[in-house]
């Protein structure tokens, strides 16, 4: 940290010194009256031309170095989904077109600047128009671009309009975390409504009991505020509280009443015991996502507050979670967590991560440990102060391992939301799929 700071200071000072030197040089030249600034010598032009070439080589070298370090892939390691491979192929296809064009055009740009630098005796030829040239630089890019666009569009359609539904899993985003919900044996998620979201019903699931609970909660608040207002009156019926406080309490009261009214207006009572709402009975809320290898899944995303961006980097899957609407993404994982951990490139990467991790642990006097690779769900949209906390572990496993996990309901039904422990038993859900 300190070292980096010193480097920044030194570089900044160097630039300031350089600018000051240039100023002095300029002044000195003026004093000497040797030449005005407009006269540029052949030597100076040549120097500029050569610097163009130097810059070109540095630019190319830096680009190649970056590619060698970060690779050309769309994410870490081999894509772990069926469509992920398609996305990586698409990206590689683009690279193979972009890189030759990048090197070719930049070479021409700098090479011509070098070759045709200004010389007194030389005169540039004047060409006002050339149809052939226009045709070449219009038609060739158009053909190449249409290849890129058609291939991209085809891949997009295959990924987004894939008919296979598979298991449905909902991912609910909030500031700052995720809740996942399996659709259960009927593979249909129970309806949910933002207006019913509470500490015990974080997804806002609609059913008789959650509505009742919410009403109890609202009534309690209404009673509290009403009592508070009544108790603060004197014998003449005047409030002892400040006018500001009274209007705030009244506002709060109206808000709670309005919430109840909205819930009542928004939920069709006739439908309440129909299958639409009963499908929530077998939904399972979890704190990590378990997936079975080679099985198709449909992820449905909702957001409670702001736009989040669910991102599975190893699956090459990302889509926004937008408040007030549902988005979805279909994917089929192809590599289990265990298989991924055993891959040589992954092992080497994590060996390095462990070296850094344990160095830090030693520094703060903590015991060393081995951290292992895991798939992860991240938020890829800066959504507030706790954005970086939005992580959810994802495990890809065999059917047997998954069955064992889903049937054991201790570790998956409890979950902490902003520090409070939530008891999931109050939200209706059965343990088995």
Residues in contact with Cu ion by CB under 5 A are 308, 379, 383, 390
Nearer to Cu ion, 82 or 390 (CB): 390
Contacts of 181 (CB under 8 A, 6+ apart): 169, 170, 171, 172, 189, 203, 283, 284, 285, 286
Q: What sections of 192-242 are H helices per DSSP?
A: 208-231
Q: In angstroms, what is the minimal distance from the CB of 308 to Cu ion?
A: 3
Nearer to Cu ion, 91 or 203 (CB): 203
- Rounded to an integer, what distance in angstroms lies between the CA atom of residue 251 and that of residue 136? 69
Q: In angstroms, what is the minimal distance from the CB of 310 to Cu ion?
A: 8
Nearer to Cu ion, 173 or 189 (CB): 173
- Nearest one of 166, 96, 92, 148 to 316, comparing CA atoms: 92
Q: In angstroms, what is the minimal distance from the CB of 418 to Cu ion?
A: 14
- Rounded to an integer, what distance in angstroms lies between the CA atom of residue 76 and that of residue 148? 23
Q: Listing from the earlier edge strand, what are the strands of the sheet with 327-331?
A: 284-286, 177-182, 167-174, 297-303, 327-331
Contact 301, 282 (CB under 8 A): no
Q: In angstroms, what is the minimal distance from the CB of 176 to Cu ion?
A: 6
Nearer to Cu ion, 377 or 379 (CB): 379
Nearer to Cu ion, 331 or 379 (CB): 379
Q: Centre a 10 Å sphere on the Cβ of residue 301 and count the other Cβ atoms it contains.
A: 22
Nearer to Cu ion, 9 or 307 (CB): 307
Nearer to Cu ion, 233 or 393 (CB): 393
Q: In angstroms, what is the minimal distance from the CB of 114 to Cu ion?
A: 49
Nearer to Cu ion, 377 or 383 (CB): 383
Nearer to Cu ion, 169 or 383 (CB): 383
CA 216 to chain centre: 38
Q: In angstroms, what is the minimal distance from the CB of 396 to Cu ion?
A: 23
- Nearest one of 187, 203, 204 to 195, comparing CA atoms: 204
- Nearest one of 300, 295, 306 to 379, comparing CA atoms: 306
Q: In angstroms, what is the minimal distance from the CB of 324 to Cu ion?
A: 16
Q: In angstroms, what is the minimal distance from the CB of 383 to Cu ion?
A: 3
Q: In angstroms, what is the minimal distance from the CB of 384 to Cu ion?
A: 7
Pairing label, strands 177-182, 327-331: unpaired
**Beta bridge partner(s), residue 431:** none
Positive or negative: CA dihedral 313, 315, 320, 323: negative
Q: Angle between the 82-115 and 42-70 helix axes, to the nearest 10 degrees?
A: 170
């Amino acid at each position: 940290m300190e070292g980096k700071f010193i480097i920044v200071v030194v570089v900044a000072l160097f630039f300031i010194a350089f600018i000051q030197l240039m100023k002095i040089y300029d002044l000195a030249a003026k004093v000497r009256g040797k030449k005005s600034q407009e006269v540029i010598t052949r030597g100076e032009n040549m120097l500029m031309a050569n610097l163009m070439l130097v810059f070109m080589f540095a630019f190319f070298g830096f680009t190649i170095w970056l590619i060698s370090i970060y690779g050309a892939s769309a994410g870490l390691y081999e894509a772990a989904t069926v469509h992920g491979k398609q996305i990586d192929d698409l990206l590689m296809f683009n690279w193979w077109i972009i890189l030759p064009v990048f090197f070719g055009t930049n070479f021409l740009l700098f090479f011509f600047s070098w070759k045709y630098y200004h010389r007194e005796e030389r005169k540039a030829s004047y060409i006002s128009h050339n149809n052939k040239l226009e045709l070449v630089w219009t038609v060739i890019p158009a053909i190449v671009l249409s290849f890129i666009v058609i291939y991209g569009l085809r891949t997009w359609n295959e990924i987004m309009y894939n008919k296979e539904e598979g298991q449905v899993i909902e991912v609910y985003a909030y500031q700052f975390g995720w809740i996942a919900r399996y659709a259960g044996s009927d593979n249909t998620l129970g309806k949910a409504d933002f207006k019913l979201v509470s500490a015990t019903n974080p997804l806002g699931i609609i059913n008789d009991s959650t509505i009742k609970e919410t009403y109890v909660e609202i009534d309690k608040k209404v009673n509290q505020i009403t009592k508070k207002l009544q108790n603060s009156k004197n014998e003449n019926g005047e409030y002892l509280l400040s006018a500001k406080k009274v209007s705030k309490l009244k506002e709060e009261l109206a808000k709670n009443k309005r919430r109840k009214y909205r819930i009542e207006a928004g939920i069709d009572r006739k439908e309440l015991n129909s299958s639409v709402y009963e499908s929530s009975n077998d939904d399972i809320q979890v704190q990590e996502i378990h997936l079975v290898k080679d099985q198709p899944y449909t992820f449905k995303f909702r957001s409670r507050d702001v736009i989040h961006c669910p991102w599975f980097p190893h699956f090459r899957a990302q889509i926004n979670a937008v408040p007030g609407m549902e988005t979805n993404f279909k994917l089929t994982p192809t590599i289990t967590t265990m298989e991924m951990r055993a891959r040589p490139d992954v092992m080497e990467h994590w060996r390095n991560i462990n070296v850094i991790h344990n160095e830090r642990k030693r520094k703060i006097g903590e015991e060393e440990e081995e951290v292992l690779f895991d798939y992860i769900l991240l938020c890829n949209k800066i959504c507030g102060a706790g954005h970086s906390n939005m992580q959810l572990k994802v495990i890809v496993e065999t059917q047997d391992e998954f069955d064992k996990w889903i049937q054991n309901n201790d570790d998956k039904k409890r979950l902490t939301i902003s520090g409070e422990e939530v008891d999931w038993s109050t939200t209706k859900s059965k343990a088995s799929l």
